[in-house]
Amino acid sequence: MEIIRVKDAAQGGKKAFELIQEGMNNGAKVLGLATGSTPETLYAEMTASDVDFSQMTSVNLDEYVGLGGKDDQSYRHFMDLHLFDKKPFSETFVPNGKASDLVAECQRYDDVIAAHPVDIQILGIGQNGHIGFNEPGASFEGTTSVVDLTESTINANKRYFDKVEDVPTTAISMGIGSITRSKKIILMAFGEVKADAIKQMIDGPVTTHLPASVLQNHNDVIVIIDEAAASKL
């Protein structure tokens, strides 16, 4: 696990973009992408660049159950707004939060991941150590599933909604087993609120109580953190 300390989120986005460019130059074709505030600076770097992504494929981590691509708070909408509308990809995959059969949708998404093995996976980390929407207790071998969001995750995401009652309580998430099969993982974390999770992820035991700790077992992980997120290391 390589730790890269940066000044702030803007510098972190630049560094992550450099690593993606390096990976693409070495043949990477599939990017695993995340949503939320953490990767926004990375997507800003990608859209401002002259790099052509039209031969690349993206596979996103998750989507809220009950939200479709036209919903302003959906992760498909987030990705379109921040990246895909500005930088077209060959193919883009996000789980269908409005699927009528969620079990079948999870299997479909596992098939997508199997057909498009991820070369570089971008991750954030929740304050409780979740990756994707894999909350504490999730199996390290897990594949795509419908997950119940914890109160801390719902509270962390309520800033994107008019009121906390509007925040979905379930999501479709790529499983930890699928995430860790990515060839390279780049985890980004900024701000003091992430310091405890980063400390436990790097220095704590590998345990399902802190899902991100499983990354200690992966052979190619780069962690990009600002000084605030690194403050407890």
Which are the catalytic amino acids?
Answer: 62, 128, 130, 135
Burial class (CB in 10 A: 0-12, 13-18, 19+), 103: exposed
Q: Do the Cβ atoms of 201 and 193 come closer than 8 Å?
A: no
Judge contact between 15 and 196, C-beta under 8 A.
Answer: no
Total Cβ atoms within 10 A of residue 164: 12
Q: String of b and e for 121-151 (b: at least 16 CB within 10 Å)?
A: bbbbbbbbbbbbbbbeebebebbbbbbebbe
**Residue 165: what residue type?**
E
Rounded Cα–Cα distance for residues 98 and 172 (Å): 10
String of DSSP letters for 151-169: HHHHHHHGGGSSSGGGS-S
